[in-house]
Amino acid sequence: MFEKRLKEIEERKLEIRSILESDKKIEKDELDKLETELRDLESEKKELERRKIIAEGIQAGTVQTRNIGNFTNNNAPEQRSIEEIISTPEYRSAFLKKLLGRSLTEAEEREYTLVPPTAGAPTAGAVVPTQTYNKIFDQMTKIAPMLSNITLLRVPGNLTLAVQGERKPAQHHQELAAVNPAADTLVSVTLTGHEFIKVIRISATIRAMAIDAFEDWLAKTLGEDLAVAIDNAIINGPTVSGNPTVSGNISQAQVWIPFDQTNTNGNYVKYASDISYDDICNCIGLLPSAFDANAKWLMNKATFYQQIMRITDANNNLIAIQSLADGGAWRIMGYPVLIDDNVPAGVVYFGDYTKVVGNLSQDIRVESSAESGFLNNAIDFRGTAIFDCNIAQPKAITKIAV
C-alpha cells in the first residue's frame, strides 16, 4: 500500500515539474494551486514514510506501539519532519536562547540537535523556528509594500517560468475555412538569487531580555531592515560593486520613451515642473487595458502630498479621494495608491505589479556571534535573505517623470 501511493506521489510531482518548465501559460491562481499541491504531496509523503518505518519496525519486532493497554514503550524511535520540529515551542526557545548565548534545558537541547545545520551554518539549529520566521516575514510585508503587491514565490533554487507574452485578439472565422494559429507569444522569466544581509551589533546585556520580547525585537529590526533593501531592489534595482541586486526592476521595466502629441508611440508621460491633471489622464491612457483591473499608483509620500493632492479635474474637484470603504486608503481617479519612500521624488509609477515576479529562494536565516564583538562586550546578529525578481510583462508598467 505504501509503495503504491509513494510512487503515485512522485509521478504527480514530476507532472507538476513538467507543467512549471513547459511553455504553457501559468496564471497566478494556477501557480498558487500547484505550489499548495506540492506542499500537500510532500507532507503526505513524509507521513507515509513515517508510517512505513513504524509498520516495518512492528513487523520486525524492533518497534512497539506507543501505548497498548498499560504498557508504554518510551524508547520507540520518534519520526518527525523538520517542519514539525521547528514548529515546537521547545525548538523555538532553544533557537532564541542559542542566539543569546544562554544554556538550554534538556528538552530544548534534544529538539535543537534534531535539526541538521544548513549549508554554511556552523552549528545545528540554524533553521529559523516557524513562529519567528512568520513574525519576520510579517514585518517585511508591513514595511515593504511591494512584497505584498508583486507575485511572490518561495521556491528553493533558481527558477524559470513561462508566462504569456503578446496576445492577439480572436478573429472572425468563415465557415469551413482553414484556421491559422494566432501569433501569441510566450516569454520566460528567470530568477536566480541575490544575497541581502543585515548585521546588528548591540550590548551583550541583551542576554537579560525575555525570550518573547527578544523575538519581537529581532523580528521587527531584522525584518524591517531586510525589507527596505529588498523593496528598494524591486523598485530601483541598484548595483553593488557592479553586480545587479536583482534581475529586473520597476524603474527599468521598459526602455522609456516620452509620450507627447508628436510622438504617440511613447510609453511614459514627461512633465516639466509640476504634474498636471492632463499628465494623470495621459498616464492612465498609456497602460494597456489588459492590466487595468489590478493597476495601482506608486509614489513616495512627498510626491503624493506635495503634488498629487493639489491636482483638481476640469470641475475643480480633487482627483485624490480617500476611500472609507477601504479603511481610509487613497485612490486617484479610482485607482489605489501605494506609498513607498524608495520611489524617487517626482516620479509616479502606474501599473499592474502582479506582473513583477519575485522569489525568496532560501528561507531567511538568523545567526549570532559574541566573538566578533568581544572587545565591545557586544553581540552581533546577522539576518540573511536570498531574493530575486524580474518583470514578466514590461508593458504592465508606465510612469510619470521629469
DSSP 224-247: HHHHHHHHHHHHT--EETTEESSS
Residue type, 351: G
> Do residues 104 and 155 share a domain?
no
φ, ψ of residue 190 to 5 degrees: the values are -110, 130
Confidence at residue 180, expressed as pLDDT on a 0 to 100 scale: 67
Residue type, 278: D
Residues 196-225 have pLDDT tens digits of 999 988 888 887 889 999 999 999 999 999
Grid cell 512522485 in the structure block, residue: 10
Is 229 part of a structural domain of the chain?
yes
Under 8 Å between Cβ of 283 and 398: yes
Comparing C-alpha atoms, which of 183, 217, 162 is closest to residue 379? 217
Q: How many residues does the chain have?
A: 402
What is the number of structural domains in the chain?
A: 2
Confidence at residue 124, expressed as pLDDT on a 0 to 100 scale: 47
Is 194 part of a structural domain of the chain?
yes
> Do residues 278 and 393 share a domain?
yes
- CA atoms of 192 and 61, how far apart (whole Å): 49
Is 71 part of a structural domain of the chain?
no
Q: Which residue range(s) make up the domain with 234?
A: 128-168+182-402
> Do residues 297 and 344 share a domain?
yes
> Do residues 157 and 303 share a domain?
yes
Is 70 part of a structural domain of the chain?
no
> Do residues 351 and 390 share a domain?
yes
| H or E stretch covering 113 | helix 106-113
Give the CA angle between residues 197, 345, 239 to the nearest 5°.
35
Distance of CA 276 to the CA centre of its chain: 35
Dihedral of the alpha carbons of 200, 204, 205, 207, in degrees to the nearest 10: 90
- CA atoms of 300 and 243, how far apart (whole Å): 26
Confidence at residue 27, expressed as pLDDT on a 0 to 100 scale: 81
> Do residues 56 and 158 share a domain?
no
Q: Which residues of 142-173 are buried (b: 16+ CB within 10 A; e: fewer)?
A: ebbbbbebbbbbeeeeebebbbbeeeeeeeee
Residues 6+ apart with CB under 8 A from 112: 91, 94, 95, 98, 104, 124, 125
> Do residues 217 and 254 share a domain?
yes
Please, what is the end-to-end C-alpha distance for the chain in angstroms? 67
- CA atoms of 245 and 251, how far apart (whole Å): 13
φ, ψ of residue 299 to 5 degrees: the values are -160, 170
Distance of CA 57 to the CA centre of its chain: 42
- CA atoms of 21 and 107, how far apart (whole Å): 44
> Do residues 49 and 188 share a domain?
no
> Do residues 207 and 322 share a domain?
yes
pTM, full prediction: 0.72
Under 8 Å between Cβ of 26 and 161: yes
> Do residues 344 and 326 share a domain?
yes
> Do residues 119 and 204 share a domain?
no
- CA atoms of 25 and 237, how far apart (whole Å): 27
Q: Which residues of the chain have pLDDT under 50?
A: 62-77, 119, 122, 124
